[in-house]
A and B are shown apart, each in its own frame.
Chain A
Amino acid sequence: MTRLSGGLIDRSRTLRFSFNGQALTGHPGDTLASALMANGVLLVGRSFKYHRPRGIFTAGSEEPNALVEIGSGARAEPNTRATVVELFDGLQARSQNHVGSLKRDLLAVNDWFSPFFAAGFYYKTFMWPQKFWEKFYEPAIRHAAGLGRLSGEPDPDAYDKGFLHCDLLVIGGGAAGLAAALTAARTGARVILADEDFRLGGRFLAETHPLDDAPATDWIAGAEAELSSLPNLRIMRRTTVYGVFDSGVYGALERVSDHLPGPAKLRQTLWRITARRAVLAAGATERHIPFANNDRPGVMLAGALRAYANRYAVAPAERVAIFTNNDDGHRTALDLLGKDVAVAGVIDSRAGAQAQGDYPLFAGATVTDSKGRHGLRAVEVTANGRAEWLDCGALGVSGGWNPNVHLASHHRGRPVWDEAAQVFLPPPDGPEGLFVAGAAAGHGSTAAALRSGAEAARDALAGLGLDVSLPDLPRTEDAGLNLHPLWHVPGKGRAWVDFQNDVTVKDIALSYLENMRPVEHLKRWTTLGMATDQGKTANVTALAVMAELTGQTIPQTGTTIFRPPYTPVALSALGGGDNGGHFKPRRLTPTHQWAAAQGAVFVEVGQWMRAQYFPRAGESHWRETVDREVLATRKGVGICDVTTLGKVDVQGADAGEFLNRVYANAMGSLKVGMVRYGLMLREDGVVWDDGTCARLADTHYVVTTTTANAGTIYRHMEFCRQCLWPELDVQLISTTDAWAQIAVAGPNARRLLERIVDGFDLSNEAFPFMACASLTICGGLRARLFRISFSGELAYEIAVPARYGNALMARLVEIGADLGATPYGTEALGVMRIEKGHAAGNELNGQTTAQMLGLGRMVSTKKDSIGAVMSRREGLASERRVLVGLEPVDPARPVVAGAHLFADGAEQNTDTDQGWITSGAHSPHLGHAIGLGFLDNGAARMGEMIVAANPLQGQTVKVRVTSPHFIDPEGERLRA
């Protein structure tokens, strides 16, 4: 096939591309589809189910057939519509969904067995024998089904997201959209004009009728020039507005560089547009008229045929025919004649149709069959019961135009049937602030579209208090379609309704016979409209066929509504482009640099990266390292970054009273310069979090939370402050990141700290257990010191401004070498707290009460606090399981968290279950495994031998019940 004259392609430049390895050429301005057509390639793919040869059916984003794979390797993109792929130099495209070559697809055998693949066949065929499903049917179906294949490799491209705000978003840059944008932009309002095409103009680009006696492209150029000059208007080409969300939020995908050769810095941007008002000017999609064997390459929408001839200067064949039920089909015939394409005839189903030009007219006739294995060769024309074959290489089918109401029904508004126009119009209860204009609103003529676009902009902006005058619009055609409905041509052969999912008129009839009549059932029984094109060229026709079968009207039969996205959006784009190490924020402790330099192994704790342990040369197993860190701490002094604990600064005259109400135990009575352990409950009485509360001054406290709950506890405290007790004078602010906090623990802790404090008395008398103070260290750096212990040793936590944390850590280890100063990580931290019997996340898991933790008496009855009342309700108060320690009778055996506890010799089932193990570790101090757990009546069972059962590993271990304090139960070390 050679090119036609004219068109909006740049013939001065040639672009090379390939299809299935064959080298071809095209021009800038081409789509892949138009370029393929210009090279005589009509067969471009195979259908989903029957593997029928398929060609190019449309000239837009509604394309059901011409789906190809673009690119190669990890960048291969399946199921790409050739009709919207902008041609670029070096583009590689491949057909998909065939085994063997495209022309000799081995799976075309499916077509022979089509009687077995009728609607619902999955549900009926693959039922027996049942065990065949997983092993045989499903893998076989999965292999054969689907269209393109994913590369299976990570997507190497960059994606981005962004946020835009405007007064008016205009969706679609055709007649109505341009008129709306001009009208609105001239008021100074902030306007965004988005269009999915790479060129503004919409349907104008496919037509020949003049505007004010000049080509439409002149008017578009003028409009575009004006719009580009306005600072308050942003034009977004290659941008599909794919969804309408609440409160005027729109999703849009901008294809930033898909049209450029080679990998780009940025492939696509997902925009979230907040628009006070919007105009939907998405145009209309032509519908086809199913007839027997209507799916051959060369059969296409008549308006698409016109678009290829006028915009892309190409026709699929030298001799074409038109099948129509309205005047628009004749317009296509005239445009093709104007481009010197032979028109074999216009087959018009209307008996009184008149020829509009010099072409054979078959009035009152229909197309009843077609021929041509890999491309159309002839159509059978039937009139008055007489059939004849008409030779043609392409057939344009025009069954009227469906308004693109999709976005208007994204909030579940149901489109309304217009009997006169035989179309579904946008729902009257569409998204608030969205005005529909142009062909999308049923205003199909150019003049009506321009007018309605301008009016929609005026109406939309009137709601924002902007006074809008309508622009002068060009004179142009204002013709109607004079459509006489014909929804399908009855007959024996298979007549396709949904090309992409291979749904035929017969499938709809079968669905009717099997009582799958509501549209929702029809869709699921036949898979109609469920493919990547979401039935843009199929749904309304299918509904009309079902209406005919049921003898009901179309509105009685139902309507289809739409969900986002309007056209497919890559998951990579929805993901916003953050992957790998940047998938989520990564928080580093202030001593991270130092720890990394020591070769620390890090562990993810929520967003934090924490040093897990610090392996030394010669240590072959993490346990070896952890054991060393624990023993070094208990013998000398260990140092650990504990910055990740949440810190909240609490100030105000009523700070003490506020904390009394937030904590289960009293805090108002805490003396200045002292710290108290604090327990927080949820309002339902269950333990939520624990931490320490330090009183730095009369009206100033600093409280800590667990790492995991830092955000939620702060939120809860703000809830208490603002919502429950706004009358209290209290101010809160998080200071988690501001201070580097380092635990210094072990018998040598005091001696080590004495080397850095500036003349501060650390003696037990001056600074006892649970004291706190502000002081300076290292010759003047402000710091806070807390004498608190998680390990059970004599221990302190010292806080300095975060930027000095790294240096302080290095300093402590360096100057404490003679004291055995040893950095330790979260593993050793965990071991030591289990040895000491301190509860942590495993024990505070949202199912435990203060009583279970042995802290029941902390819940004060003298005051009201969050959760206090509910913690005393019968069900919780009668709970007998309490925290105990557990050690294996045979010291070689493990203690595994998650194991359940049973009386020795008892049957093991849920009735005899007496509790469970929450934490287990190897205690280097004791030389065997230890654990913590909740055990029925545990306090009275010290020394008893019970059984820990771990059915997951078929393991039962005899354990002895002990105090949870494996080390220094009297607390002599930490008070030393």
Chain B
Amino acid sequence: MLIPHPLLGPRDAQEFFCLGSASLLDRPDGMSDGAQAAFHDYVYLRDNPAGVHRELWFHEQGDRSWLVVTRNTLTHEILGAELARDVALRAKGGAA
């Protein structure tokens, strides 16, 4: 499988470590009220869709970028990849 690295082009999936759902980007605030419940959901409740899934991949044997890769888990088709840093910054900007 090839991962379309946004900066380096297609690279073999063997260079990457896959962490799982990109929902891990949405870490709750540990100092807020109700943090226990929010962290419970964050740590344990993740979707496992048969179909399009946003995943975190680490280019461990490459440029050490974390990527958000959109992948169809049924066909292994990869629909896109972007730097997780950009996704995270966008989300934080939106929240502010």
Asked if B88 is an interface residue, CB under 8 A from chain A, the answer is: yes
Asked if A318 is an interface residue, CB under 8 A from chain B, the answer is: no
CB <8 Å contact, B31 and A718: no
Contacts A247-B76, A723-B56, A868-B30 hold; do A274 and B2 have CB atoms under 8 A apart? yes
Taking each of A274, A684, A711, A722, which has the highest tally of chain B beta carbons within 10 Å of its own beta carbon? A722
> A870 CA to B41 CA in the complex, in Å?
11
CB <8 Å contact, B2 and A724: no
CB <8 Å contact, B85 and A726: yes
CB <8 Å contact, A722 and B76: no
Residues of A within 8 A of B40 (CB): 870, 873
Contacts A247-B78, A715-B60 hold; do A864 and B29 have CB atoms under 8 A apart? yes
CB <8 Å contact, B1 and A247: yes
CB <8 Å contact, A869 and B30: yes
B1-19 contacts to A (CB < 8 Å): 1-2, 10, 12-13, 17, 19
Asked if B35 is an interface residue, CB under 8 A from chain A, the answer is: yes
Residues of A within 8 A of B83 (CB): 722
- Mark interface residues in A715-728 (1 if CB within 8 Å of B CB, else 0): 10011001110110
> A247 CA to B44 CA in the complex, in Å?
31
Residues of B within 8 A of A726 (CB): 85, 88-89, 92
Question: B25 is contacted by which of A683, A724, A863 (Cβ under 8 Å)?
Answer: A724
Asked if A470 is an interface residue, CB under 8 A from chain B, the answer is: no
CB <8 Å contact, A723 and B25: yes
CB <8 Å contact, A869 and B19: no
Residues of A within 8 A of B19 (CB): 719
Closest CB-CB distance, B7 to chain A, in whole Å?
A: 13
Asked if A691 is an interface residue, CB under 8 A from chain B, the answer is: no
Question: A683 is contacted by which of B35, B39, B76, B78 (Cβ under 8 Å)?
Answer: B39
Question: A724 is contacted by which of B12, B27, B65 (Cβ under 8 Å)?
Answer: B27
Residue of B nearest to A870 (CB): B39
Contacts A719-B66, A724-B88, A727-B92 hold; do A865 and B2 have CB atoms under 8 A apart? no
> A683 CA to B39 CA in the complex, in Å?
8
Asked if B46 is an interface residue, CB under 8 A from chain A, the answer is: no
Asked if A219 is an interface residue, CB under 8 A from chain B, the answer is: no
Question: B66 is contacted by which of A248, A432, A711, A722 (Cβ under 8 Å)?
Answer: A722
CB <8 Å contact, A249 and B1: yes
Closest CB-CB distance, B90 to chain A, in whole Å?
A: 10
CB <8 Å contact, B89 and A727: yes
Asked if A472 is an interface residue, CB under 8 A from chain B, the answer is: no
Closest CB-CB distance, A409 to chain B, in whole Å?
A: 15
CB <8 Å contact, A722 and B10: no
Residue of B nearest to A873 (CB): B36
Residues of B within 8 A of A245 (CB): 1
Contacts A723-B84, A727-B89 hold; do A864 and B2 have CB atoms under 8 A apart? no
- Mark interface residues in B36-48 (1 if CB within 8 Å of A CB, else 0): 1001101110000
Residue of B nearest to A711 (CB): B60
Residues of A within 8 A of B78 (CB): 247
> A864 CA to B27 CA in the complex, in Å?
11
Asked if B79 is an interface residue, CB under 8 A from chain A, the answer is: no
Interface size class of chain B, counting residues whose CB lies under 8 Å from the partner chain: 35 or more
Question: B39 is contacted by which of A248, A715, A722, A869 (Cβ under 8 Å)?
Answer: A869
Closest CB-CB distance, B10 to chain A, in whole Å?
A: 7
Asked if A246 is an interface residue, CB under 8 A from chain B, the answer is: yes
Question: A274 is contacted by which of B12, B36, B76 (Cβ under 8 Å)?
Answer: B12
> A908 CA to B43 CA in the complex, in Å?
36
Question: B31 is contacted by which of A683, A719, A864 (Cβ under 8 Å)?
Answer: A864
Contacts A715-B17, A869-B35 hold; do A684 and B92 have CB atoms under 8 A apart? no
Closest CB-CB distance, B80 to chain A, in whole Å?
A: 14
CB <8 Å contact, A246 and B1: yes
Residue of A nearest to B29 (CB): A864
Residues of B within 8 A of A869 (CB): 28, 30, 35-36, 39
Closest CB-CB distance, A709 to chain B, in whole Å?
A: 14
> A723 CA to B13 CA in the complex, in Å?
20
Residues of B within 8 A of A870 (CB): 36, 39-40, 43
> A718 CA to B19 CA in the complex, in Å?
13
Closest CB-CB distance, B3 to chain A, in whole Å?
A: 9
- Mark interface residues in B19-33 (1 if CB within 8 Å of A CB, else 0): 100001101111100
Residues of A within 8 A of B10 (CB): 247, 274
A911-964 contacts to B (CB < 8 Å): none
Residues of A within 8 A of B58 (CB): 715, 718-719
> A916 CA to B28 CA in the complex, in Å?
35
CB <8 Å contact, A718 and B64: yes
> A863 CA to B25 CA in the complex, in Å?
19
Residue of B nearest to A715 (CB): B58
Residue of B nearest to A733 (CB): B64
Contacts A247-B2, A715-B17, A864-B29 hold; do A723 and B12 have CB atoms under 8 A apart? no
Closest CB-CB distance, B87 to chain A, in whole Å?
A: 8
> A683 CA to B26 CA in the complex, in Å?
13
Residues of A within 8 A of B64 (CB): 718
Closest CB-CB distance, A372 to chain B, in whole Å?
A: 52
Residue of B nearest to A432 (CB): B77
A361-409 contacts to B (CB < 8 Å): none
Residue of A nearest to B30 (CB): A864
CB <8 Å contact, B30 and A246: no
Closest CB-CB distance, B22 to chain A, in whole Å?
A: 9
CB <8 Å contact, A722 and B30: no
Residues of B within 8 A of A863 (CB): 31
Closest CB-CB distance, B72 to chain A, in whole Å?
A: 11
Closest CB-CB distance, A502 to chain B, in whole Å?
A: 38
Closest CB-CB distance, A192 to chain B, in whole Å?
A: 17
Residues of A within 8 A of B84 (CB): 722-723
> A684 CA to B42 CA in the complex, in Å?
10
> A606 CA to B25 CA in the complex, in Å?
31
Residues of A within 8 A of B35 (CB): 869
Closest CB-CB distance, A725 to chain B, in whole Å?
A: 8
Residues of B within 8 A of A247 (CB): 1-2, 10, 13, 76, 78
Q: List 10 A-B contacts (CB under 8 A).
A: A248-B2, A249-B2, A249-B12, A683-B43, A722-B84, A723-B56, A723-B66, A869-B30, A869-B35, A870-B40
Besides the contacts A684-B44, A724-B25, A872-B36, what 16 more A-B pairs have beta carbons closer than 8 Å?
A247-B2, A249-B1, A249-B2, A249-B12, A711-B60, A718-B58, A719-B58, A722-B66, A722-B88, A723-B25, A724-B88, A726-B92, A864-B29, A868-B30, A869-B28, A869-B39
Q: Identify the B interface with A (CB < 8 A).
A: 1-2, 10, 12-13, 17, 19, 24-25, 27-31, 35-36, 39-40, 42-44, 56, 58, 60, 64-66, 76-78, 83-85, 88-89, 92
Q: Which 5 A-B pairs have the closest CB atoms?
A: A864-B30, A247-B2, A246-B1, A722-B85, A722-B66
